[in-house]
Amino acid sequence: MASPFDPQREDLFTFGLWTVGNRGRDPFGEPVRPVPDPHHLVRRLAELGAHGVNLHDDDLVPPGASAAERDRIVREFRRTLRDTGMQVPMATTNLFGHPAFKDGAFTSNDPRVRAFALQKTLRAIDLGAELGAGIYVFWGGREGSEADACRDPRAALQRLRWALDFLCGYVLDQGYGLRFALEAKPNEPRGDIYLPTTGHMLHFITTLQHHEMVGVNPEVAHEVMAGLSFPHCVAQAMAAGKLFHVDLNAQKIGRYDQDLRFGSEDQKGALLLVRLLEGTCGGGRYTGPRHFDAHAYRSEDEAGVWEFAKGCMRTYKILAHKARGFDADPEVRALLAEQHDPRLDPLLAGGNSREVAEALRGVSIDADALGRRGLGYERLDQLLVEHLLGVRG
Residues of this chain that interact with ligand GLT (CB under 6 A) are 18, 56, 92, 137, 139, 183, 219, 247, 293
Residue spans of alpha helices (H) in the chain: 17-20, 38-48, 57-60, 67-84, 111-130, 153-174, 198-206, 220-225, 230-239, 267-278, 302-328, 330-336, 345-349, 354-362, 367-372, 377-389
For Mn ion, how many residues bind (rule: CB under 5 A)? Answer: 6
Q: Name the one range near Mn ion by CB under 5 A: 98-106, 243-251, 326-334, 365-373.
A: 243-251
Pick between residue 99 and residue 371 the one whose CB is nearest to ligand GLT.
99
Give the shortest CB-251-to-Mn ion separation in angstroms: 8
Q: Which of 247, 265, 266, 278 binds Mn ion (CB under 5 A)?
A: 247
Cβ-Cβ contacts under 8 Å for 371 (sequence gap 6 or more) = none
Give the type of residue at 271.
Answer: L
How many helical (H) and strand (E) elements, i.e. helices and strands, does the chain have?
16, 10
One of 59, 266, 278, 293 touching Mn ion (CB under 5 A): 293
Residues 110 to 169 in contact with Mn ion, rule: CB under 5 A: none
Alpha-carbon distances, residue 20 vs 2, 31, 307, 310 (angstroms)? 23, 14, 10, 11
- Biggest alpha carbon distance in the chain? 78
- Compute the least distance from the CB of residue 248 to ligand GLT, in Å: 11
- What whole-number distance in Å separates Cα of residue 179 and Cα of residue 129? 11
Out of 259, 278, 327, 329, point to the residue binding Mn ion (CB under 5 A): 259
Q: How far is the CB of 137 from ligand GLT (least distance, A)?
A: 5
One-letter amino acid for residue 114 of the chain:
R
- How buried is 73 (Cβ within 10 angstroms: 0-12 exposed, 13-18 middle, 19+ buried)? middle
Q: Which is nearer to ligand GLT, 118 or 384 (CB)?
A: 118
From the list Mn ion, ligand GLT, none, partner contacted by residue 327 (C-beta under 5 to 8 A by kind): none
For ligand GLT, the closer of residues 97 and 241 by Cβ is 97
Q: CB under 5 to 8 A by kind: which of ligand GLT, Mn ion, none does 136 bind? A: none
Rg over alpha carbons for the chain, rounded to the nearest Å, is 23
**Closest approach of Cβ 8 to Mn ion, in Å?**
24
Residue nearer to ligand GLT on the CB measure, 137 or 213: 137
Give Cα separations from 309 to 45, 143, 257, 346 (angstroms).
8, 30, 18, 51
Q: Which residues lie across from 145 on neighbouring strands?
A: 192
Taking CB under 5 A as the criterion, which residues in 195-234 touch Mn ion?
A: 219, 221
Q: Which does 270 bind (CB under 5 to 8 A by kind): Mn ion, ligand GLT, none?
A: none
| Residue with smaller CB distance to Mn ion, 92 or 145 | 92
Question: Could you say which of 57, 103, 257, 327 contacts Mn ion (CB under 5 A)?
Answer: 257
Gap between the Cα atoms of 51 and 258, Å rounded: 24
Could you say which of Mn ion, ligand GLT, none residue 388 binds, taking C-beta under 5 to 8 angstroms by partner kind? none
Question: Closer to ligand GLT at the Cβ: 293 or 329?
Answer: 293
Q: Are 108 and 146 in contact (CB under 8 A)?
A: no
Residue 92 binding target from Mn ion, ligand GLT, none, CB below 5 to 8 Å by type: ligand GLT
CB of 336 to ligand GLT, least distance (A): 34
**Rounded to whole angstroms, how far apart are CA atoms 391 and 42?**
38
Distance CA 88, CA 379 (A): 44
Task: Tell the smallest beta-carbon distance from residue 353 to ligand GLT (Å).
Answer: 47
CB atoms under 10 Å from CB of 122, counted, come to: 16
Task: Give me the least distance between CB of 299 and ligand GLT, in Å please.
Answer: 19
Catalytically active residues, by annotation: 56, 59
Q: How far apart are CA 229 and CA 216, in angstroms?
A: 16
Where does this chain touch Mn ion (CB under 5 A) — which range of 83-91, 122-130, 289-297, 353-361? 289-297
Choice between 56 and 159, CB closer to ligand GLT = 56
Question: Closer CB to Mn ion, residue 51 or residue 245?
Answer: 245
Out of ligand GLT, Mn ion, none, which partner does residue 265 contact, by CB within 5 to 8 A per kind?
none
Q: Give the phi and the psi of residue 304 in degrees, each rounded to 5.
A: -65, -30
**Rounded Cα distance, 263 and 289, in Å:** 17
Residues with Cβ within 8 Å of 71's Cβ and at least 6 positions away in sequence, in order, are: none
Binding site for Mn ion (CB under 5 A): 219, 221, 247, 257, 259, 293
